[in-house]
């Protein structure tokens, strides 16, 4: 199981290689995605907190990348964080999510990206529940519940 030290190491030294990669031009992504999903995933936007029903959805299933459909999170790791965004304790596989240091807005954060297509998902924080202590704070528009 990953912990905060692992996340920082990946952000600073590189993420495990993905099982596959999906590469498309900005124009191709723009043609495939809604304007809102494109803004979040390709332009590193964020959605308003509490703006999605996914925040309160806790039924069994898998959450996949809205861009490339790579499986990212299992509902068994989803929890109510009170932040207004879907939150997870860990990715479905150690190489499903990529990590990048984000020093914007005068703070150090760790950006979470789809490791397959590079879509911006959200951020990872060290204030989640045991046992990982991680909170993957993910934009609902970056996800699709697939089962």
Give residue limits of the domains in the chain: 4-145
Taking residues 125-140, report their average pLDDT.
Answer: 96
Radius of gyration of the chain (CA): 14
Active site amino acids: 137
- For the 4-145 domain, the top CATH level (class) is mainly beta
125 pLDDT tier (thresholds 50, 70, 90) = very high
Position 147 pLDDT exceeds 90? no
pLDDT digits (tens, 9 = 90+) for 61-97: 999 999 999 999 999 999 999 999 999 999 999 999 9
pLDDT digits (tens, 9 = 90+) for 96-110: 999 999 887 777 899
């Amino acid at each position: 199981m990953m912990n905060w030290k692992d996340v920082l190491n990946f952000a600073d030294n590189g993420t495990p290689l993905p099982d596959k990669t999906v590469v498309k031009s900005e124009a191709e992504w723009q043609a495939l995605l809604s304007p809102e999903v494109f803004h979040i995933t390709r332009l590193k936007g964020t959605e308003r907190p509490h703006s999605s029903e996914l925040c309160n959805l806790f039924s069994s299933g898998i959450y996949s990348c809205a861009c490339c459909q790579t499986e990212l999170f299992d509902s068994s790791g989803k929890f109510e964080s009170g932040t207004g965004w879907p939150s997870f304790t860990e990715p479905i596989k150690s190489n499903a999510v990529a990590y990048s240091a984000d020093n914007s807005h005068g703070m150090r954060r760790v950006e979470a990206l789809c490791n397959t297509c590079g879509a911006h998902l959200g951020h990872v924080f060290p204030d989640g529940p045991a046992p990982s202590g991680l909170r993957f704070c993910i934009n609902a528009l970056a996800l699709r519940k697939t089962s």
